[in-house]
Amino acid sequence: MSCISGVPYIVKPGDTLVSIARRQWSDASRWREIKKSDGYPFTEDDVRHLQLGQEICLKNTDELKPPSSNNGFTDSRNAPSGNNGFTDSRNAPSGNNGFTDIVSRQTYEAIFPRRHSIYTYESLVAAVQKYPNFSSEGTLVQRKREVAAFLANIAHETSSLHYVEEIKQQNWPKYCKPNNTYPCIPGRTYQGRGPLQLSWNYNYGAVGTALGVDLLSNPDLVKTNGDISFQTALWFWMTPQSPKPSSHAVMSGGWQPSVEDWNRGRTPGFGMTVNIINGGRECSIPTTPQVSNRVNFYQRFTQMLGVDMGENIYCDRMAHY
């Protein structure tokens, strides 16, 4: 469907209505001026269901500002026009300096002193350059909390970046589900790998498409290539997967809970990121040791970054998706 009125725009990885409004008009509060392709305005419930590839409409008078300068992820050297807005960092603008202002090399090394050799500071910074909305939206407090939340979750998933893949090898063959778009490749397994333990064939396929890398055929790249490894984690963090919002939108203030979310206890804060990442096992039940571990990391990292934890740090009263 084409826009009934206005300039069409296709939602890219990491996009929220708030980030698009900020990019177009330097005013995040104007997100309500963005229309659906049928000409109707977005409701707060619609915002929660914004999806990659969705067509939205800006005003006819708008000059579309490309997301490649501050958003997205596809190699522009050989990509077709529908390339999801990624630019090769070697030729891209300087991108996000906010992350390095918040987490210096010294801070990173203090947080992860026994990390695996692939998890270098340089690889993380390079990944952030690909997703420059990360840690650059919202107030300074929100930006620091987002960084702390991301680092806390990857610390929990990998024992402080010690592990590069799931250690229970007996589980490896289980991570395959029939999928016409991203089928399992014979001889390959899709167990958890990388900082956020990317799992399942459909996730390897989706993030591989976003990165321009065939991760279905080469899943081990997530545990051997530090740049790709961190990029998969940031893809998962930045990309909404309906009906879930992205963790980035939650921590940066771009996600507004619907009435249904409020009724189900889903409110902005660190606990919501846990719900997004592993809510089926860790949320809507009495607080598990896993959640306590995540919260302990979050508390430590927010203290190191000089910010409080904010509200809603647990998810025991949140309905999972």
pLDDT at 142: 96
Angle among Cα 73, 19, 155 to the nearest 5 degrees reads: 65
Angle formed at CA 195 by CA 299 and CA 198, multiple of 5 degrees? 125
Task: Flag whether 79 is in a domain.
Answer: yes
The better pLDDT of the pair 250, 24 is held by: 250
Say if residue 34 is in the same domain as residue 153: no
Listed residues 25, 46, 67: the one ending a domain: 67
Residue 138 lies in a domain: yes
Least reliable range by pLDDT among 62-76, 179-193, 242-256, 293-307: 62-76
Task: Look at residue 1 and tell me if it is in a domain.
Answer: no
Confidence of residue 248 (pLDDT cuts 50, 70, 90): very high
| Structural domain span for residue 79 | 68-321
Residues 155 and 217 in one domain: yes
Last residue of a domain, one of 67, 83, 111: 67
Q: Are residues 215 and 80 in the same domain?
A: yes
Please state, in angstroms and rounded to a whole number, the distance separating the CA atoms of residues 218 and 146.
Answer: 30
Asked if the structure places residue 2 within a domain, the reply is: no
Burial of 69 (0-12, 13-18, 19+ CB in 10 A): middle
Instruction: Kindly state the percentage of the chain with pLDDT values over 90.
Output: 65
Mark whether 228 and 106 lie in a shared domain.
yes
Q: Is 182 helix (H, G, I), strand (E, B) or coil?
A: coil
291 with 224, same domain: the answer is yes
For the cut 50, the answer to whether the pLDDT of residue 83 exceeds it is no
- Of 40, 67, 94, at which residue does a domain stop? 67
Active site residues per annotation: 157
Query: pLDDT tens digit string along 114-162?
Result: 999 999 999 999 999 999 999 999 999 999 999 999 999 999 999 999 9
Edge-first strand listing for the sheet containing 55-58? 7-10, 55-58, 35-36
* Predicted local distance difference test score (pLDDT) of residue 88: 35
Mean pLDDT, rounded, for 87-100:
50
Is the overall model pTM greater than 0.85, yes or no?
no
Which amino acid does the sequence have at 134?
F
